[in-house]
Amino acid sequence: MKLLQDRIIKEGTILPGDIVKVDSFLNHQIDPILLRELGKELTIRFANQGVTMILTIEASGIAIALMTGLELNVPVVFAKKVKSSNISSTFYSTTVYSYTKNIEYGIYVSKDYLSKNDRVLIIDDFLATGHAVLGLINIVRQSYAGLVGVGIAIEKGFQGGGKLLREQGIRVESLANIKALQNGQIIFNN
Amino acid sequence: MKLLQDRIIKEGTILPGDIVKVDSFLNHQIDPILLRELGKELTIRFANQGVTMILTIEASGIAIALMTGLELNVPVVFAKKVKSSNISSTFYSTTVYSYTKNIEYGIYVSKDYLSKNDRVLIIDDFLATGHAVLGLINIVRQSYAGLVGVGIAIEKGFQGGGKLLREQGIRVESLANIKALQNGQIIFNN
C-alpha cells in the first residue's frame, strides 16, 4: 500500500536491533485519517469472508483493529496483557515472547467474547518474528473458532514471522512488507 | 448521552470495590459503531476550541480517543506505561496511582508530539478518582501547552475525580455520569 510505504519512508527511523520506529503515526502518536485508510484497505482484502470479529492485542494493535472493525461492522476484542480484577474469571490464555522488550508475558481473552461460532480476523500493527500473532492464533485454536486470516500494517518480512505463518497455510495480508534494512534505508518487498 | 447510558444499564456489571465493568463494549470487547458515536458527541462538545491534539493513555483510552481524533481531524497521542526501547529518549513523565489495580506506574509522552503550541483535549474511557487524568494534566503542564478540557466516556461521579477537576476550573465533559451504585443498580446523574 503506497500510502503507508510513503509514510514509513518519510517518518520511520531505524533503531539498533532492526527496530523500525514509527511513533509519529502508529505506535505513540496516531494519525486517525491514515489509520482509517489502513482499515479500509484491510476490509477490502478480507471482504466476503464472513468475519464475525477482530482479535488484536493491546496496546498498539487497538487503533488499526478498531478502524478495520468499523469498516467491517464487527466487534473488536483486544487481548489483555494483565489479568486485572476487571476481567472475566474464565478466559483463554497463553504466553508471548516480546522480541523488542526481551520479556515473556501472558495474554488473556475472556471466553465471553470468543467462541467456536466465530470467524476471526487477527489484526496487528507489526509482524516481525510472529510471536504475538502466534499467541493470538493459539487463543483462536483454544476457542475452536475459525481463523479467516491475519491483517498487518507493517510486516518485517526479513524477520521470518510472515513466512512461518504462510507455510502453515494461514492467509497473511500486510499493507507494507519490509524486505530489508540496508545502510539506513528501508527496502520494501513490493 | 442516552445511547451510552442505555448500553451501560444493559451490559454493565458491578464488581466489588465499586468497579463498573463494561468489558462487552469498551474495555475488552469494543463496539466500533458505538465508539464512533461517542467520538462524534465529544467532538460536538469541544467544537471550535482550536484543539490541535488529543492526549490519552494506553490501553482502554485509545479507542475513544481515536474516534474523537478522527472526527476532529487531529492526531492522537497515547501516553505509554512502559518506557520501551522504542520510545524517544526525551519525554515528559509522571507517576499515576491505579485505584482498580492498587499499583503505581509511570507514564511517558515523547516531547516530539506535545509542545507549548498545542491545545490539548484529554480523552479517557473512565473518570473515577481522577488519578490517570491528573497524570495527563501534569504532562500537559510540563509541556506548557494549553489544556482545552477533558472528555470522558463514563464518569463515576461518586468517586470525586470529576469534582476535583472542575473545582480547578478544568472543563470536564462526560457522556455518562454515574451518581451512585445502589443495590446492584447503576444510577445516573442526568
Of A36, A63, A80, the CB nearest to B62: A63
Q: Which of residues 35-74 of B touch A (CB under 8 A)?
A: 35-36, 58-59, 62-63, 66-67, 69-70, 73-74
Question: Is it true that the peptide bond before A59 is cis, omega within 30 degrees of 0?
Answer: yes
Of B33, B67, B86, the CB nearest to A21: B86
- What would the pLDDT profile of A79-104 be if each residue is shown by its tens digit? 999 876 555 569 999 999 987 778 99
Residues in chain B: 190
- What would the pLDDT profile of B103-141 be if each residue is shown by its tens digit? 999 999 999 999 999 999 999 999 999 999 999 999 999
C-alpha cell of residue A108: 488473556
How many CA within 13 A on the CB side of residue A84? Answer: 20
Task: Tell me if chain B has a CB within 8 Å of the CB of A86.
Answer: yes
Task: Tell me if chain A has a CB within 8 Å of the CB of B87.
Answer: yes
- What would the pLDDT profile of A139-155 be if each residue is shown by its tens digit? 999 999 999 999 999 99
pLDDT at B174: 98
Q: Strand, helix or coil at B86?
A: coil
CA distances from B92 to A168, B40, B83, B110, B118 (A): 44, 29, 11, 6, 15
Reported confidence tier of residue B85, pLDDT bands at 50, 70, 90: low
pLDDT at B164 over 70: yes
pLDDT at A89: 67
How many CA within 13 A on the CB side of residue B51? Answer: 28
pLDDT at A85: 58
- What would the pLDDT profile of A42-79 be if each residue is shown by its tens digit? 999 999 999 999 999 999 999 999 999 999 999 999 99
Rounded to 5, what percent of chain A is helix, strand, coil? 35, 35, 30
Q: What ipTM was reported for this prediction?
A: 0.95
Residue for grid cell 463496539 = B31
Asked which of A101-105, A117-121, B182-186 is least confident by mean pLDDT, the reply is: A101-105
Task: Tell me if chain B has a CB within 8 Å of the CB of A98.
Answer: no
Task: Tell me if chain A has a CB within 8 Å of the CB of B33.
Answer: yes
pLDDT at B175: 98
Reported confidence tier of residue B88, pLDDT bands at 50, 70, 90: low
Environment class of residue B167 by beta-carbon count within 10 Å: exposed (0-12), middle (13-18) or buried (19+)? exposed
Residue B44 C-alpha from the chain's centroid = 16
